[in-house]
Amino acid sequence: MDFDIKMDGDDKLRQAFRTRVPGLDVRVVTQNGPREFPVSDISASGFAFSDSPRGYSPGMVLSFDLLLSKRLFLGDLKAKVMRIIGEKGIIGCTFMEMERRQEIKLDKLVLEVQKRLIELRKAKREAGG
């Protein structure tokens, strides 16, 4: 028995939990060569970073590396620019063509951050904060 449920506005919903990972940067190959930017947030399906929006357009494909504490975490990746928030200079991207081992490594990173956030919230609650 196959069925599909679709609700109005489904396209606008987040596809995965997004979080901020301290020390995570993206090295993007730009027209001026490779440049590094802090990652604003990341999930299993995409990430966002800040730069001048003039160099990007929706649908554009980026080549990039993810760096954790200035060391290569995942390399030789591709992403598609999905949205640009011009006034804030935020570039939102979705991952493309990731290998399974890359997906697993990224999922593990996001899951570890989620666990730490849950532990911090629990400790704060228990401390009465």
Q: What is the length of the chain?
A: 129
The answer as to whether 113 is a domain residue is yes
Identify the CATH number of the domain in which residue 84 sits. Answer: 2.40.10.220
Burial of 47 (0-12, 13-18, 19+ CB in 10 A): buried
Rounded to two decimals, the pTM is 0.77
Q: Are 96 and 63 in contact (CB under 8 A)?
A: no
The answer as to whether 37 is a domain residue is yes
- Name the strand (E) or helix (H) holding 46: strand 46-50
The answer as to whether 6 is a domain residue is no
The answer as to whether 98 is a domain residue is yes
- pLDDT tens for residues 30-74? 778 899 999 999 988 899 999 887 788 999 999 999 999 999 999
- CA distance readout (Å), 103 to 45, 75, 78: 9, 12, 13
Measure the CA–CA gap between 113 and 39, rounded to whole angstroms. 14
Q: How crowded is the C-beta side of 45, counted as CA atoms within 13 Å?
A: 7
The answer as to whether 89 is a domain residue is yes
Domain total of the chain: 1
The answer as to whether 57 is a domain residue is yes
Q: Which domain holds residue 117?
A: 18-126
Average pLDDT for the chain: 84
The answer as to whether 12 is a domain residue is no
